[in-house]
Homo-oligomer: A and B are copies of this chain.
Amino acid sequence: MAAKIGQLMDEKLGKQKNDVLPVLKDLSKIILTEGKKFNVCEKAAKDLPEIAGNALLSFSSSGNTSKLRPLKVGVLFSGGPASGGHNVVVGLYDAVKEMDPKSEVIGFMNGPDGLLKADGKILSKEDIDSVRNQGGFYLLGTSRTKFEKESDMAKCSETIKKFDLDGLLIIGGDDSNTNAAHLANHLKKDGSKAVVVGIPKTIDGDLAYLPYLQTSFGFYTAAMTYSEMVGNICRDLPSSRKIWHFVKLMGRSASWITLETAFQTQPNVALIGEEIKEKKMTLSQVIDMVADVIEKRYKAGKKYGIVLIPEGIVEFIPEIKSLISSINKAIVNIGNDHFIKMHINDRKEKVLVELIQEHERLFIELPHTVQNGLLSGLDPHGNVQVSQIASDVLIMDLVWDRLSQRGIKLTTQTHFYGYDGRCGYPTWFDATYTYNLGRAASILVANSKAGYMVTVNNINGSFDKWQAQAIPLAGMMAVEERKGKDCLVISKYLVNLNSKAFKEFEKNRDKWAIEDSYLCPGPVQFFGPDELVKSRSITMTLNA
């Protein structure tokens, strides 16, 4: 039998040595220097007094060697998986063992749940070697649990005391790092020796804080995985010359993945949710925008093309957002438990009665599958399940109808890429970034620096220019309304229409719409020429 490629890849990549930032090589010589003090908002000053005064920390190498002590550091994954997560743990492990062989890394199982339930295990060399440069979060698992109540904080404290931890790494997105800030403050107030360090993870690309935090890990691997598939379809277009492909891409509210994929593949249309919101476009205008491109191409004899659609688009179309909110209220009035037991036709009837005429009209015009998605009941947070709305089908069906009215018949196909890009082997960029994040985090723990997010700066440039840094979590936070309450959170980094990346896209999209400018990036390479292997995100480098 031929070799199983998965076994070979695991082995070859598992043995590949990770590049270490020069400044992080000799751990005994690293000194942390305080830089800029961050302004914190009023609520942060009040709610997070213990960590609100933190200043930016930079890492450098001194001539002197300091004695390092053994550390016990906990680590957990939070939220959806992203490629590179394992390497954070590996980098942390390698570093604390270099500091002192008696050091220990404790992995908490199933995300924040493991911390609440004191479900942790000391990671062995075998555990660590089995996940070097491997995708996924399977070593520990993950969950979306939040520490919201005081009692949760107390349970975390107890676990941290039980395991005698010097520090805890929370690997997560904006919500998880908001959590990390609160826990850091809580522990410091409690007099715990353990410091909490946040690690910026999310494939969505919506966790950044320029110029300090340029990107979260996992974004580039996910975007390149989707770009491979989209690029392959782009090659198919002028080959079979007869299909319009509507591709939905993961990324929740942010359109960064769609934008990066657009740069990598040059599709005919890429919808950017933030633009639609900013320009207050109606659903009908969005449909026209797509239909006009298709019609123009049709008249030029091109009956094929590709449209990229960010997963969260429906939330950006004001009238749909308003419809969703009305349906939300209607379901609450009916009672969700009762509602989800009804037959779909009855659900529809009951909801329509509650809607104002304008919303009723809009709802009836939506494709069947989208109607069903909107009627699938509320999620545990009491919201209509936006992720259940097939936005690719929504756009495709409405565009099809619009063009049909113009006498144009299309052959169409939908795709959704999302889960398939969260756990691939990390690109060199993500593997290297995360390995060094883990190493740098160990220094924060060794120096008892609480309430920081560790980052690497200048990652758009060549590797020898990369700089480890630590940003005060409290400084990244702002007050936002969540479920009608003012909350202190890390804001989502969304596509700004004035950003260089968006401007570059805007400059090119009319050309991409009509000409066949398609690119096919192909599968991520791990062993080839440096230009391929050590590549970086286009959106990130443009925005740097």
Residue numbers of A with Cβ under 8 A of B are 1-10, 12-13, 77, 80-81, 110, 134-138, 141-142, 224-225, 227-233, 235-236, 238-241, 243, 245, 263-265, 368-369, 413, 415-416, 419-425, 460, 504, 519-529, 531-532, 535-538, 540-542
For A425, the chain B residues whose CB sits under 8 A away are 520, 522-523
Q: Are B12 and A532 in contact (CB under 8 A)?
A: yes
CA distance A521 to B7 in the complex (A): 7
Residue A525 contacts which of B6, B240, B422, B525 (CB distance < 8 angstroms)? B525
For A240, the chain B residues whose CB sits under 8 A away are 80-81, 137, 141-142
Q: Are B2 and A537 in contact (CB under 8 A)?
A: yes
Q: Known: A12-B532, A419-B245. Is A504-B1 also a contact (CB below 8 A)?
A: yes
Q: A260's closest neighbor in chain B, by CB?
A: B2
Q: Known: A422-B232, A423-B233. Is A535-B5 also a contact (CB below 8 A)?
A: yes
Q: A423's closest neighbor in chain B, by CB?
A: B235
Q: Are B524 and A527 in contact (CB under 8 A)?
A: no
Q: Are B532 and A423 in contact (CB under 8 A)?
A: no
Q: Known: A5-B521, A228-B523, A526-B528. Is A236-B504 also a contact (CB below 8 A)?
A: no
Q: Are A241 and B141 in contact (CB under 8 A)?
A: yes
Q: A539's closest neighbor in chain B, by CB?
A: B2
Q: Known: A4-B519, A526-B528, A529-B527. Is A233-B9 also a contact (CB below 8 A)?
A: no
Q: A225's closest neighbor in chain B, by CB?
A: B232
For A368, the chain B residues whose CB sits under 8 A away are 368
Measured CB to CB, the closest approach of chain B to A432, in angstroms, equals 15
Measured CB to CB, the closest approach of chain B to A461, in angstroms, equals 10
Having A6-B264, A6-B521, one finds 5 other A-B pairs with CB under 8 Å, namely: A7-B519, A77-B239, A135-B520, A228-B228, A236-B420
Q: Are B413 and A415 in contact (CB under 8 A)?
A: no
Q: Known: A532-B9, A538-B2. Is A523-B236 also a contact (CB below 8 A)?
A: no
Q: List 8 A-B contacts (CB under 8 A).
A: A2-B536, A3-B531, A6-B519, A7-B519, A225-B232, A232-B420, A243-B419, A425-B520
For A13, the chain B residues whose CB sits under 8 A away are 522
Residue A413 contacts which of B137, B230, B419, B519 (CB distance < 8 angstroms)? B419
For A519, the chain B residues whose CB sits under 8 A away are 4-7
Q: Are A229 and B420 in contact (CB under 8 A)?
A: yes
CA distance A243 to B228 in the complex (A): 24
Residue A135 contacts which of B12, B227, B232, B423 (CB distance < 8 angstroms)? B232
CA distance A512 to B8 in the complex (A): 19
Q: Known: A240-B137, A527-B528. Is A264-B233 also a contact (CB below 8 A)?
A: no
CA distance A22 to B542 in the complex (A): 49
